Copies of this chain bind each other. A is one copy, B any other.
């Protein structure tokens, strides 16, 4: 049998199965796709595909469904990115409008992406490695409680309440603020751990201990902004898309709730610079996602956006949406 037709058959199977959610047989295949050969020939091809582990039959006399490996081949070699519709394009464009607040933008991004793809959308907060310290603020909340605020030039604001061991004077706090600010304004967040100790060392001895505590707070904040958070939307899509095909939704929800899991998942996916990366079924490092796929890509300076859905998803369209959204996101944040 010819290699091109084999791939064509696999492609047809994947597309039909994604569409109908039912195992697809040889006869139906020749009817819906003009393959130019008879069902018997297709049957032979399918036998080969099955031997190669690209498709499988749920039971003896049913049609075939793609395996993880089959989807993989489909994604890697067969599928072509489907262009977005005008409406979708417009929807993404409108992301450009509105306030530049980063939380707002990300919020709207996940919503949009989940609507475009009908899947669960996930976005990682942008990396702030290159972010610079713009401002530092210490605010006395209670005699022994200080609110430490760290503002980066990206507009991201970190905050943390710290517990000074003993009473803190407002004047001392102001003094330390200007010291810190003077020393670290303009510094990269990532460099704070190296810079802060010397600032502390230069403080008057009686303030040394407080300065130390504050420095720890600041450092924790710079960690926090790097310890990326994620935002998601569209979990209801999970229930909808699985109404007649019970992917066990529980484990997936669990994974989604564990930010750590999602973060690892996203960052484990190599950042294919050409386009989006796809992780299919059991390729996922997390067991609960054995029947799910993740389609993601990087944006801005390396953070990820993507979606999570059942293995049986419309990859071309989904990949197109993810890629388009990521591009716009990069553009907005880059400007």
Q: What is the interface of chain A, defined by CB distance below 8 A to chain B?
A: 99-102, 134-135, 137, 139, 141, 145, 147, 149, 151, 153-155, 157, 159-163, 233-236, 238-240, 243, 248-251, 253-254, 256-257
Contact = CB atoms under 8 A, between A and B. Distances in A.
Given A99-B160, A239-B250, A239-B253, 8 more contacts: A99-B163, A100-B145, A135-B137, A155-B159, A155-B161, A157-B157, A236-B250, A236-B253
A100 B163 contact: yes
A309 to B, nearest CB: 14
Given A249-B239, A250-B240, A250-B243, A151 B139 contact: yes
Contact of A238 (B153, B155, B234, B253): B253
B249 A161 contact: no
5 contacts: A99-B161, A134-B141, A235-B256, A236-B251, A236-B254
A260 to B, nearest CB: 13
Contacts of A251: 236
B257 A235 contact: yes
Given A149-B151, A151-B139, A235-B235, A101 B253 contact: no
A145 B163 CA distance: 33
A250 B237 CA distance: 7
A147 B141 contact: no
A159 B100 CA distance: 12
Contacts of A162: 99
A161 B139 CA distance: 21
A328 B208 CA distance: 35
Contacts of A248: 239
Between A157, A233, A254, the greatest number of chain B beta carbons within 10 A of the residue's beta carbon is seen for A157
Contacts of A155: 141, 145, 147, 159, 161
A180 to B, nearest CB: 14
A220 to B, nearest CB: 10
B257 A234 contact: yes
A81 B236 CA distance: 33
Contact of A147 (B139, B151, B240, B253): B151
A256 B157 CA distance: 27
Contacts of A159: 101, 155, 157
Contacts of A163: 99-100
Contacts of A249: 239, 249
Contact of A236 (B99, B239, B257): B257
